[in-house]
Amino acid sequence: MKIIVNGCFDCFHEGHKYILEQAWRFAHQGIVYVLLNDDNSIRKLKREPIINENQRYNTIVEYWNSKHNRYDYTIFHVLHFNTEEELYKLIEDINPDMILKGNDRTDVREIVGSDKWPICILPRLKDKNGNDISTTNKIKELKSVQETNTK
């Protein structure tokens, strides 16, 4: 199977690890493609990236390699994109069996590629307080700690 996961993967956390592990399980000795937003696309979509594109790429590859050995037989690729048009072209070229997404998207029809390929929405992981594990919540948590430490 060919599985696509795409996103920013900024401030790499347990939720990102979870989606990569689910992609590995779905692919079952097939191919996992991580389509990574480049720094400019993050600026357009959200904010200034916390971690630059090369560091995010390296973090994803290091995590994958730490979990899956060379006898795993699942092929792993990380590709970069800037625009939704580039993302769609990558998806079209790959022609995946499935696209995995976290549940931060409320309307599946808004997910790039949903017009032609099956989408699997994964549930969000929760932290010990029951909050969603997400980059947005991690940023809020860090700001709160910084504010507390400056008082």
Q: What is the pLDDT of residue 68?
A: 82
Phi, psi (rounded to 5 degrees) for 13:
-140, -175
Mean pLDDT of 5-26: 91
**Which is more confident, 151 or 72?**
72
Q: What is the pLDDT of residue 88?
A: 95
pLDDT in tens, 79-126: 999 999 999 999 999 999 999 988 766 677 788 888 999 999 888 777
Q: Indicate the Cα dihedral angle 57, 58, 59, 64, nearest 10°.
A: 90
**Which is more confident, 141 or 94?**
94
- Predicted confidence band of residue 146 (pLDDT cuts 50, 70, 90): low
Dist CA 36 CA 30 (whole Å): 19
Sign of the CA dihedral running 130, 134, 140, 144 = positive
* Under 8 Å between Cβ of 20 and 34: yes
Q: What is the pLDDT of residue 130?
A: 76
Dist CA 31 CA 124 (whole Å): 23
Q: What is the pLDDT of residue 137?
A: 64
pTM: 0.82
- pLDDT > 70: percent of the chain: 83
Q: Which domains occur in the chain, in start order? A: 2-125 (3.40.50.620)
Dist CA 59 CA 25 (whole Å): 20
For the chain, what's the residue count? 151
**Which is more confident, 68 or 18?**
18
Query: What's the mean pLDDT when you consider all of the chain?
Result: 86
- 55, amino acid identity: Q
Dist CA 122 CA 22 (whole Å): 9
Decide if pLDDT at 11 tops 90. Answer: no
